[in-house]
Amino acid sequence: MNNSVGGYIAQRLVDLDVSDYFAIPGDYNLVLLDEIIKEKQLNMICCCNELNASYAADGYARVNGIAALFVTFGVGGLSAINGITGSYAENLPVLIVSGAPNTNSIAHRDIVHHTIATEDHGYVRRMFAEVCCHTDCIISPEKAPMQIDTAIQQLIYHSKPVYLDIACNISALPTPELNKRHFYSTLHSDQLSLNEATNAVAERINESEKPVIVVGSGCRNKEIGDAIAKLSTQTGIAFATMPDAKGFLSEEHPNYLGHYWGPVSSENVCELVESSDCYIFVGANINDYTTSGYTTNISNQNLIKIDRFSTSLQNKFFTQVFIEDLIKNLKNKVNKNKSVMDQFALLQGETKKAVNPSLEATDRPTTREFIVKCIQHILTSDNLLLVETGDSWFNGLDITLPQGCHFEIQMQYGSIGWSVGALLGTQAALGDKRRAIALIGDGSFQMTAQELSTMIRYGLKPIIFLVNNASYGIEVQIHDGPYNEINDWSYAQLVEVFRGQNMDARSVCVTTEKELKSAVEEAVNTDALYFIEVKIDANDCNKKLLQWGKYVAHYNSRKPSS
């Protein structure tokens, strides 16, 4: 066993079932990386820059549960802070470790490189404190195990990033031997508060005529999703998912309605949810994006809100009540009520469209709608579908997920360019067991394109749909201007540019339906990264984006209140 400070971190990552970590070398972390590399159960993935690496760690955490990122001090950490902020906003546990100046430099308050020429070396850590649940500086090999374990416990308990500085001259020094231990993530409710909350919620649901459940992003935990699915099965109560919770529960569940997104919801879902006399929002992240500029018509009188740490309804509020405990308690106290599902069946009967399982293609120019059909056609339970901010959100949400197919979206933080690094991370976490499919706009891709190189370098095998409409589509719909125009790259040729020694990666540029269909069929049967650039008309966007953009633009343009 490697008993150095770096070896201690490496062994803890192995204990936490982390197989891969992301790294950008810099002089302050080189010895630390030497120590991490000694752990043969870990695989290092070197990214092109720290921002992309932080996006990759974000994606890895979504699949694996925990991710790790190693950077150098100052210039490295601050380049990564945007992606780490996204992980904080989206409740993803990412351990970011920065090599730091020599302990003597810290003690003597020397001015060193990669800083803002200040004697105070703690400013980077203070900046991360705003977007991490815990930060610390490790300068003592003897105290390192306690500091590292404390950070990991905070990481898991809060499900948010933590940041550690490790002085560059102690990374290889011996530290006390590692002991095996558990890091607990389970949150326990106060029993008295839980019982009262359960009774109040059950009573309110049972007195209602048309209860409905709305699942939010706070339900990423599989145990929570399973508990909601069982409650719905047992009671017949219908459920919808918010857009940032798509895929958390099976879309093949008989009581699944679709996604609820206010006026841009799935067909008939908005009407059913908002006409309910009791809507149960579980783990809901309420913001201007998830509510289409706060245009949802939700009455507090009819609202039960079950959050991670508390539950509220009408004039009652219960603390120290956790989602999973409450949902499990409800299943034996809530009456059967399938009124919303019955109404949904009637509405769907009126509007249901015939589904053609075949994929017919013509010589017509390809469209956004045909891209969606192609992805739907190849999607299986062995896939993960990842969509970038913008029109890709809406197109991805229109796709029905097969049982077991994962879906990833970054809606709270909405950092354009996130998807390229996140795709690297998700596919690394999936390994060869499952294949990621990404839907990315050209404007977003230009932000972080270099990580296509990293995916090719490490032999990762996602399928990438690059939608080329020569603009920032989402920005156009919110507020248009010349700044939304972008340089039209020859995107498919980048695979050749980035290929390196990997000759297996493929790419193609398509303009017609037949070309796209042929490319998709080849992609499915190609055991390598497959990049499909799809050229569509600049005005071809999802009509729901047009609606949503109008609502968000109106919300953004409100006049100052007096």
Banded model confidence at residue 554, pLDDT cuts 50, 70, 90: confident
For 211, the token pair is 């209860």
CA dihedral 409, 415, 419, 422 (to 10 degrees): -90
Per-residue pLDDT, 331: 85
- Among 62-76, 300-314, 356-370, 443-457, the range scoring the smallest mean pLDDT is 356-370
Is residue 10 predicted with pLDDT exceeding 90? yes
| Most confident among 95-104, 181-190, 429-438 (mean pLDDT) | 429-438
| Cβ proximity of 124 and 76 under 8 Å | no
Q: Do domains 5-167 and 368-551 have the same CATH topology?
A: yes
- Segment 180-209, tens digit of pLDDT: 888 877 678 999 999 999 999 999 999 999
pLDDT (average), residues 392-421: 94
Per-residue pLDDT, 1: 67
Is residue 262 predicted with pLDDT exceeding 90? yes
Q: What is the mean pLDDT of the chain?
A: 92
Give 332 or 268, the one with higher predicted confidence.
268
pLDDT (average), residues 79-99: 97
Superfamily of domain 191-351: TPP-binding domain (3.40.50.1220)
DSSP per residue, 152-216:
HHHHHHHTS-EEEEEETTTTTSB-PPP------------HHHHHHHHHHHHHHHHT-SSEEEEE-
% of the chain exceeding 70 in pLDDT: 96
Q: How far is Cα of residue 274 from the mean position of the Cα atoms in its chain?
A: 27
Summarize the chain as % helix, strand, coil (round to 5): 40, 20, 40
Is residue 354 predicted with pLDDT exceeding 60? no
DSSP per residue, 56-125:
HHHHHHHHHS-EEEEE-TTHHHHHHHHHHHHHHHTT--EEEEEEE--HHHHHHT---TTS-S-S---HHH
Per-residue pLDDT, 350: 58
For 356, the token pair is 């053609």
- Segment 330-344, tens digit of pLDDT: 988 999 999 999 999
For 400, the token pair is 């029905």
Starting at the edge strand found earlier in the chain, the sheet holding 463-468 runs 406-408, 383-387, 435-441, 463-468, 530-535, 506-510
Is residue 249 predicted with pLDDT exceeding 60? yes
Instruction: Read off the amino acid at residue 282.
Output: V
For 91, the token pair is 């409740």
Rounded CA gap, 414 and 417, in Å? 9
- Among 50-64, 175-189, 201-215, the range scoring the smallest mean pLDDT is 175-189
368-551 CATH choice from 3.40.50.11270, 3.40.50.2300, 3.40.50.300, 3.40.50.970: 3.40.50.970
Q: Which residues pair with 507 in a beta bridge?
A: 531
Rounded CA gap, 48 and 70, in Å? 13
Question: Domains of the chain: which residue ranges?
Answer: 5-167, 191-351, 368-551
Q: 């990374």: which residue's tokens?
A: 171
pLDDT (average), residues 17-41: 96
Q: Phi first, then psi: what are they for 235, rounded to 5°? A: -100, -20
Of the candidates 220, 235, 247, the residue with the CA atom closest to the CA atom of residue 280: 235
Per-residue pLDDT, 112: 76
Of the candidates 483, 484, 488, the residue with the CA atom closest to the CA atom of residue 470: 488
Is residue 44 predicted with pLDDT exceeding 60? yes
- Per the rule left: phi > 0, alpha: psi between -120 and 50, beta: everything else, 438 is beta
Rounded CA gap, 523 and 191, in Å? 53
Rounded CA gap, 420 and 448, in Å? 6
pLDDT (average), residues 211-222: 96
Give 480 or 14, the one with higher predicted confidence.
14
Give 116 or 302, the one with higher predicted confidence.
302
- Segment 482-537, tens digit of pLDDT: 767 788 899 999 999 998 877 799 999 999 999 999 999 999 999 999 999 999 98
pLDDT (average), residues 156-161: 95
Bridge-based pairing of strands 94-100 and 67-71 is parallel
CATH topology of domain 5-167: Rossmann fold (3.40.50)
Instruction: Read off the amino acid at residue 3.
Output: N
pLDDT (average), residues 11-18: 96
pLDDT (average), residues 389-403: 93
pLDDT (average), residues 89-107: 91
> For 412, which DSSP code?
S
Q: Which residues pair with 316 in a beta bridge?
A: 313
pLDDT (average), residues 51-61: 98
518 contact partners, CB below 8 Å, separation of at least 6: 510
